[in-house]
Chains A and B, each alone.
Chain A
């Protein structure tokens, strides 16, 4: 797999604002996945975008993928306090192993 590097490392916003997190990777991928981790819990798979897709939506989530720039972004619209968590991106490749980076810690203040 391709470890993603998330940016920024930490993001603090007010409830109702949009949150944008970015991800970069270094080699070719088959898909790009985003996960969320609430403090002290397991990761939750949010969304997967395939390498031939440019944009994907799921509820309040919007993911973009630019394979020419080897980058992706995750937009959370109308954020809620419950969105407070760490967010990870990871590239899925020809094998099934996933290597995670340090993530972005999002804090949504009520």
Chain B
């Protein structure tokens, strides 16, 4: 375990389903991130939260909705996804102004059918 826990590890959902991905860290970090990793593509930064406030949304479709209720928890709510949204979704955390690098979770492997 890295200190960043993601659940579930695997998720299969239909295009009309609503599901949520959860990320939790107790490292005392104040920034949290969602990344998407599709096959054969670089990691794509989706959302950035800094002290619970969303500071970046990289043109992510509205069918992905993040939520950060406190600095330890981050959610990604999913609704009416498309098959091309199937990917590995990674959560990471860091200190905002620190230089110690990111701590990643193990990811959620999402399959949209």
A42 touches B104 (CB 8 A): yes
Is A41 among interface residues, defined by CB-CB distance under 8 A? yes
A residues 56-110 with Cβ under 8 Å of B? 92, 96-103
Question: How many A-B contacts are there with CB distance less than 8 Å?
Answer: 59
Residues of B within 8 A of A100 (CB): 35, 42-43
Instruction: Given A42-B106, A96-B31, decide whether A30 and B101 contact each other with a Cβ distance below 8 A.
Output: no
Is A44 among interface residues, defined by CB-CB distance under 8 A? yes
Number of A residues with CB within 8 Å of any CB on chain B: 21
Is B86 among interface residues, defined by CB-CB distance under 8 A? no
Is B68 among interface residues, defined by CB-CB distance under 8 A? no
Say how far A107's CB is from chain B's closest CB, in angstroms.
Answer: 17
Contact with A along B6-50 (1 / 0, CB 8 A): 100000000000000000000000010101000001110100101
- Interchain CB contact (< 8 A) of A96 among B35, B90, B94, B107: B94
Measured in the bound complex, the distance between the Cα atoms of B9 and A40 in whole Å is 11
A48 touches B99 (CB 8 A): yes
Interface residues of A (CB under 8 A from B): 30-31, 33, 35, 40-45, 48, 50, 92, 96-103
Interface residues of B (CB under 8 A from A): 2, 4, 6, 31, 33, 35, 41-43, 45, 48, 50, 56, 88, 90, 92, 94-107, 109
| A to B CB contacts below 8 Å, 12 in the list | A35-B104, A41-B106, A42-B6, A42-B104, A42-B105, A45-B101, A96-B50, A96-B97, A96-B98, A98-B45, A100-B42, A102-B41
